[in-house]
């Protein structure tokens, strides 16, 4: 019997947040609808962050209002603070994600806060989400390398993972934000982090800047991780992480997982069609 693995699709958020062009909500909605038809169980469709910081994501409420919600699919939103959580709730996101960094340099650049300050902000987000019955996912960025501070110690990652676990995050996604992680570094990080949170509650979020994302997926699979974030068309990057390029492409990850004998429940043809749509959006619509 084949084993299951899940791809958490992040292109409408992590992909489109990094595009120079302001993409109209109607195009984002079409992409999310195409993804819903491909069989994803979870899709990150928006972020409710400061529009001064990420103008590309300012229309998250319009996107959530316009999509056709497929039964059984959870539509997620990134929320940096209570205001963001309230926006996500009003727009009827099914779950929210809080996002911290393992390195101080990126925390400051991305959230204008130290790691401790960012975690303090997340407390009210988690309380509000829980009061509303919304699941909370956690992200840790820069799990091996930071564009500002260089190499990141696994113990620094583990500390933030433990804090997110204490908040009750149902899953923590480990971000190689700038795609500089080597398989050895990812393995060393996972060896320590799985001491704080079991692999079944962890996800891999590999950017493919150095072309090593699939190798890092293999390392994570060997450690028991079965959820991977990816973006159709290989879109992606963070505007506050210099040098970061696309997320691992969903099409490539799907082929890789399938070849390794994992069942994902995805329709490869529909994934490819969504990928073509995403690439067209990147190229100017
Ligand atoms: P700040 O400037 O320190 O805080 O930003 P502020 O409270 O002074 O807010 C600035 C302005 O934004 C104010 O407006 C606020 O009202 C407004 P003004 O008074 O100047 O008119 N504001 C908001 N507006 C809408 N929704 C909100 C919100 N909050 C404040 N929720 C802040 C602090 C956290 C807001 C800012 O740093 C921010 O928004 N950062 C988010 C950056 C971001 O979205 N980065 C990309 C996502 S993370 C990522 O890609 C990594 C990931 O993929 C994993 C990986 O790859 O590693 C997840
Ligand atoms: Mg990312």
Burial letters 248-257, b for 16+ CB under 10 A, else e:
bbbbbbbebb
Ligand 1 pocket test target in 15, 50, 118, 239 with most atoms within 8 Å of CB: 50
Structure-block tokens of residue 146: 């930071």
Neighbours of ion ligand 2 (CB under 5 A): 14
Q: What's the gap in Å between 207 CA and the centre of ligand 2?
A: 7
Residues with catalytic function: 238
Q: Decide: 60 and 77 in contact? Cβ < 8 Å.
A: yes
One pLDDT digit (tens) per residue for the chain, 285 residues: 579 999 999 999 999 998 988 999 999 999 999 999 999 999 999 999 999 999 999 999 999 999 999 999 999 999 999 999 999 999 999 999 999 999 999 999 999 999 999 999 999 999 999 999 999 999 999 999 999 999 999 999 999 999 999 999 999 999 999 999 999 999 999 999 999 999 999 999 999 999 999 999 999 999 999 999 999 999 988 888 887 789 999 999 999 999 999 999 999 999 999 999 999 998 666
Q: Which ligand is nearest to the CA of 18?
A: 1
Ligand 1: which residues within 6 Å by Cβ?
14, 17, 47-54, 78, 80-81, 83-84, 87, 99, 110-112, 139, 141, 175, 177, 205, 207, 238, 240
List the end-to-end C-alpha distance of the chain, in Å, as a whole number: 42
Residue with tokens 């806060």: 113
* Angle at 213 (CA atoms; ends 209, 219), nearest 5 degrees: 145
């Amino acid at each position: 019997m084949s084993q299951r693995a899940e791809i958490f699709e992040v292109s409408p958020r992590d992909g489109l947040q990094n595009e120079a062009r302001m993409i109209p909500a109607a195009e984002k909605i079409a992409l999310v609808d195409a993804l819903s038809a491909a069989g994803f169980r979870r899709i990150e469709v928006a972020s409710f962050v400061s529009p001064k910081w990420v103008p590309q994501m300012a229309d998250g409420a319009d996107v959530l209002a316009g999509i056709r919600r497929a039964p059984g699919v959870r539509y997620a939103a990134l929320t940096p603070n209570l205001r963001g959580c309230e926006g996500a709730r009003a727009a009827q996101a099914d779950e929210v994600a809080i996002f911290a960094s393992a390195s101080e340099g990126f925390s400051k650049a991305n959230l204008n806060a130290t790691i401790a300050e960012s975690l303090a902000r997340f407390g009210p987000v988690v309380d509000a989400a829980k009061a509303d019955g919304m699941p909370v996912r956690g992200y840790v960025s820069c799990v091996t390398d930071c564009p500002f501070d260089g190499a990141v110690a696994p113990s620094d990652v583990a500390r933030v993972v433990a804090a997110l676990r204490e908040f009750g995050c149902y899953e923590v996604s480990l971000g190689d934000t700038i795609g500089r992680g080597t398989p050895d570094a990812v393995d060393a990080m996972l060896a320590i982090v799985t001491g704080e949170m079991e692999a079944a509650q962890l996800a891999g979020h590999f950017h493919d800047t150095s072309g090593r994302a699939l190798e890092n997926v293999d390392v994570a699979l060997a450690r028991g991780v079965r959820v991977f974030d990816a973006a159709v068309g290989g879109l992606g990057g963070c505007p506050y992480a210099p040098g970061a390029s696309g997320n691992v492409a969903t099409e490539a990850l799907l082929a890789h997982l399938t070849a390794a004998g994992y069942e994902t429940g995805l329709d490869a043809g529909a994934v490819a069609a969504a990928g073509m749509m995403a690439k067209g959006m990147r190229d100017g619509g």
